[in-house]
């Protein structure tokens, strides 16, 4: 059994209720927008002051960004912003899918009735975002759903990782906005809802693989321009 919606972000170290994943989401936005440019050395104290955060919160956020490949840690312990182009964005989103899919078999075997009802709520949130063509809510909904799967599995490390990787997906989906083809997204989310109700682990893995192999790459392509930094994409 897992806690309800307001505590979903706990698996990623982000404060509950923050729409974009807390400090990590705000830092991801800064990197994606170019406010923190590639090659910038990260000043932990400066970030803490700028964002009104404590040192421990800043370090947790930076660790999450490092897991997503947005921050590099050198041998001397200094942290630097990495270049984020279309290829890297696609790789991070694909890794998010791989890590999430890795939790499916055990999670589906452990589902209780209240867990299933909770996952149904999260899928409904994603479906509502699709209905309203809200890229930001779509990305955050997928992130919350992936974290919930990992927490039901009882894998805290996986929950933290999908939370970190999912933050980039939120930013990518937000940048893509309402310009991509929502029909494929709608079909994919509807399929996930059906197989969840059936508690079919194999079908759920297939549905998620279809989402990450056939649907999300197009969203990433809408958010980035190949061979250009993500921050330069229109």
How high is the pLDDT of residue 1? Answer: 52
What confidence score (pLDDT) does residue 121 get?
98
**Domains, the chain, with CATH or none:** 23-81 (1.10.10.10), 86-224 (1.20.120.530)
Query: How does pLDDT run across 152-166, given as a tens digit for each residue?
Result: 999 999 998 898 888
Round to whole Å and give the CA distance between 96 and 21: 15
Residues of the chain with pLDDT under 50: 4-20, 226-228, 231-234
d(CA 129, CA 75): 42
Contact 100, 208 (CB under 8 A): yes
pLDDT at position 225 is 52
């Amino acid at each position: 059994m897992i806690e309800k919606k307001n505590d979903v972000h706990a698996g990623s170290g982000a404060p509950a209720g923050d729409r974009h994943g807390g400090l990590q989401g705000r830092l991801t936005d800064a990197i994606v927008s170019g406010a923190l440019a590639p090659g910038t050395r990260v000043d932990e104290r400066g970030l803490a002051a700028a964002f009104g955060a404590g040192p421990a919160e800043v370090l947790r956020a930076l660790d999450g960004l490092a897991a997503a490949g947005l921050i590099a840690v050198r041998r001397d312990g200094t942290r630097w912003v990495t270049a984020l182009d279309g290829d890297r964005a696609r790789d991070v989103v694909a890794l998010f899918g791989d890590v999430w899919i890795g939790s499916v078999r055990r999670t589906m075997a452990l589902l209780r009735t209240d867990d299933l009802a909770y996952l149904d709520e999260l899928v409904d949130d994603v479906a509502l975002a699709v209905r309203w063509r809200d890229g930001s809510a779509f990305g955050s909904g997928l992130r919350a759903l992936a974290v919930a799967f990992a927490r039901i599995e009882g894998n805290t490390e996986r929950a933290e990782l999908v939370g970190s990787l999912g933050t980039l997906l939120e930013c990518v989906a937000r940048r893509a906005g309402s310009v991509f083809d929502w029909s494929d997204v709608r079909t994919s989310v509807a399929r996930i809802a059906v197989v969840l109700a059936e508690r079919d682990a194999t079908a759920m893995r297939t549905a998620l693989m279809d989402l990450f192999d056939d649907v999300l790459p197009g969203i990433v392509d809408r958010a980035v321009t190949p061979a250009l930094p993500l921050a330069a994409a229109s």
